[in-house]
Amino acid sequence: MNEEEIFLPLIGDPAPEFKAKTTHGMVNFPKDYQGKWVILFSHPADFTPVCTTEFVAFQNKYDEFQKLNTELIGLSIDQVFSHIKWVEWIKEKLNVEIKFPIIADHGEVGALYGMIHPTKGSSTVRAVFLIDPKGIVRTMIYYPPELGRNFDELLRMVKAIQISDEHKVAMPADWPNNTSLDLKDRVIVPPASDVKTAKDRLAKAKAGEFECFDWWLCHKKL
């Protein structure tokens, strides 16, 4: 095997299991988070400028994530003592208390989740994994070290997938503010997969159940 090969879970796969030390004690992942949505994310290093802005941003939105039954858990290849001192620095200098755990990885978890990209060095890149209450990977996003994440987008991602699961719908581009088709916060009805459903789709649209541009592109208000 080439040592630079990257293996990572795919969307729909069970989240790889691991045990690790964190700033809140040992974690058995994803078992300890059964019944919760989780954002597992990595950052390149403690005591770095962009990562500090990200941790403050995550904490500022922590309550919003928790309202969505979503927990946060960070990770980098730093010792737990470094994590603790960095969290203390953020509290002392920026008056922000980081309330979620940070994993002290030695590279094992980073390798399991494909968080280490050799052309970007030996640190973890800015990876994001959304894992559902059954421990299934639902979303993966990778950012290079030089680009900080958009936290409104991460919240949108959680909300959209939860709504999709509950209502069996999909979201248009830029939901809930779609402008490309002027759908705004409307959702997409799954496309018909047979002739009968396609005909029924237009009939239901005429009855006002939802609106269609055509049988394969229908939308509705939740």
38 plus 92 within the same structural domain: yes
Say yes or no to pLDDT of 201 above 90: no
Least confident of 54-63, 155-164, 169-178, 192-201: 192-201
pLDDT number for residue 18: 97
Confidence of residue 192 (pLDDT cuts 50, 70, 90): confident
138 plus 218 within the same structural domain: no
pLDDT number for residue 1: 37
Instruction: Give the CATH number for residue 183.
Output: 3.30.1020.10
Q: Considering the domain boundaries, does residue 131 fall inside one? A: yes
Q: Considering the domain boundaries, does residue 2 fall inside one? A: no
For the beta carbon of residue 171, count every other beta carbon within 10 angstroms: 20
**Token pair recorded at residue 145:** 């070290």
133 plus 177 within the same structural domain: no
Reply yes or no on whether 51 is catalytic: yes
45 plus 126 within the same structural domain: yes
Helix H, strand E, coil C: the string for the chain is CCCCCCCCCCCCCECCCEEEEEECEEEEECHHHCCCEEEEEECCCCCCHHHHHHHHHHHHCHHHHHHCCEEEEEEECCCHHHHHHHHHHHHHHHCCCCCCCEEECCCHHHHHCCCECHHHCCCECEEEEEECCCCEEEEEEEECCCCCCCHHHHHHHHHHHHHHHHHCCECCCCCCCECCCCCECCEEECCCCCHHHHHHHHHHHHCCCCEEEECCEEEECC
Q: Considering the domain boundaries, does residue 29 fall inside one? A: yes
Mean pLDDT of 22-39: 97
Say yes or no to pLDDT of 3 above 60: no
Mean pLDDT of 12-27: 97
- Domain residue limits at 59: 18-149
140 plus 175 within the same structural domain: no
27 plus 131 within the same structural domain: yes
Q: Considering the domain boundaries, does residue 88 fall inside one? A: yes
How many domains are there within the chain? Answer: 2
Say yes or no to pLDDT of 2 above 60: no
25 plus 129 within the same structural domain: yes
pLDDT in tens, 110-153: 999 999 998 888 899 999 999 999 999 999 999 998 999 999 99
- Determine which one of 39, 51, 115, 137 is catalytic: 51
Count of residues in the chain: 222
pLDDT number for residue 6: 61
140 plus 80 within the same structural domain: yes
The predicted model scores a pTM of 0.92
pLDDT in tens, 76-104: 999 999 999 999 999 999 999 999 999 99
Instruction: Give the CATH number for residue 77.
Output: 3.40.30.10
74 vs 55: CA distance, rounded Å = 9
pLDDT number for residue 141: 97
